[in-house]
Amino acid sequence: MAAEQPIPVYTNLTDLYGSLGTSLNHAEKWSSVAEEFQQRFGRKPAFIARAPGRVNLIGIIFHITKAQSSQPAVLTIIRIGEHIDYCLFGVLPAAIERDILIAISRRPNIHAEDAPGSVFAENMQTKYTRQVFAPAPRRRASVSEEEVRLEEWHLDINTKELRWESYVKAGYYGVLINYFAGGSNPAPVDILVTGTVPAGSGLSSSAAMVVGSTLAFLAVNGKLEGNFTGNGPKITKGQLVEMAVANEKRVGVNSGGMDQAASVISVPSSALYISFFPELSASAVPLPSGAVFIIANSLVVSDKAVTAKRNYNLRVVETLAAARILARRLELKVEKTEKVTLREVVGRLAGEVEEAGEMPVEWLLETLKRMEREIECLKPTKSSEEGQMGVTMEEMIEMSGLTAEEFHDVYLSWVEVEATHFQLYKRAKHVFSEASRVLQFRQICLAAESSPSSPMDVIKDLGQLMNESQTSCNELFQCSCPELNELTEIAMNVGAFGSRLTGAGWGGCTVSLVAEDNVDSFIKKVSATYGPYKGLHGEALDEVIFATKPSSGACVYKFE
């Protein structure tokens, strides 16, 4: 299993660069970080930790983060699938070449005023100022008021006003509570952060920051010695994913693991098929040669806090309610207080046994095909305005078999939504068809690996699935926006095999599948056609549209 492999620690730059992809000058970037660290801190770093961003090739998923207070929950995006999302179907992300790099070294001259484990953190982006912080041991009574023991550490992270160093602290936090709970102290360190994953673009820059930070603090505190020497215990990729997921919760992101798994477990030239039911698992899916992915930022930012009740939160309630109504129509057992998911409905209908693992792909595809017929029961039964496929709140409650009070407790007491009609049919149709496309995408890639098929024929088939996904996202799940639609249309007009939104939607980026020898021409044509790109040149343009190949996951370089 990929998750059971140890985190790679390199001492040879040639081996390291060879694992990262060819679209960027990695040697220049890594050298620049090392030189800047030496200039700022007077010595070279001991380690550089790398964590890539990720792109969603096909599929779209969200995840709920419940509010910490009595306020309604706000939905947080978990790009194209992650842990226990509200549908539980598998997804296909891939790590990208753009990444976060964190150079780190122990501070050699420790002063009396330095607190244990203190951190001097700097960022190569000039808009971010130097930050100095230190963890504090948190003490509390555990057995009696007289017996007080060290239980964990504390780092102040203001989740209401997240800053760049908040993600560094989040990664550090996990290392503290997992490896320094017995009274020992972490090393005081200097760190320098840089990155090429555009922030707020739906490419998981925050997850990459937390993964990179966790990895850097593990390395500098000697916790990766087994990975480096081959002697003693090794920290696996799966362990790093689990730690990073828990760490990201420190900044208020209740992530389920998809972003972190893609950043850590990915391998070059492959996507990562992640399944969440009946348990989390990941496996590499080799992609055909001859094409690259081009990421284009629409420059539209969706304000989740403002639109959640009409977009993110609403989709969760619609799909969960659709799952209950389908289960009731199919006479499947569902407890009154259970938030059954669409994936669980499929499993129960097919007689899936959780202990036996995920059902065979052919079986799952066949059941999904049946579900696309069964969802007719989600259409309104009463006559309504012409073309209206949604149901009212009253109709939805009646279809669920619950009382109004029971329905509210299960589906509305923890989240705020706003709608006159709930599009149960459209949402379920998208989810089931998108789940089928993910499986087909995976099957095409796996079949191509062992057959003499023309790579271009395979790429065209994958592009067609991406196009179908974009249509479904726009028309059924309704999570696209005019700018994303325009970008995908432009992409197809100038030579892409397929193009779709990536991430949550309502803004953010598109991903297009483009022939490797057509990259420069494609970017030039898109840049000249998409209005918001006009006037952008050089680095400014490179920030919003760029090519990438599927890259390897997180790693560490150790300086000799």
Catalytic center residues: 259
Q: Kind and range of the H or E element at 100?
A: strand 92-106
Q: What are phi and psi of 391, to 5 degrees?
A: -120, 155
Residue with tokens 């998981």: 204
Terminal C-alpha separation, the chain: 31
Task: List, in sequence order, every residue forming a beta bridge with 154; answer none if it has no partner.
Answer: 136
Q: Give the span between the Cα atoms of 297 and 432, in whole angstroms.
A: 27
Residue 517 CB burial class (10 angstroms; 0-12, 13-18, ≥19)? exposed
Contact 120, 109 (CB under 8 A): no
**3-class SS shares of the chain: helix, strand, coil, % to 5:** 40, 20, 40
Q: What is the 3-state secondary structure (H, E, C) of 221-259?
A: CCCCHHHHHCCCCCCEHHHHHHHHHHHHHHHCCCCCCHH
Q: Give the span between the Cα atoms of 76 and 370, in whole angstroms.
A: 31
Q: What is the 3-state secondary structure (H, E, C) of 390-444?
A: CECHHHHHHHHCCCHHHHHHHHHCCECCCCCCECHHHHHHHHHHHHHHHHHHHHH
Which pair of structure tokens corresponds to residue 155?
Answer: 């780092």
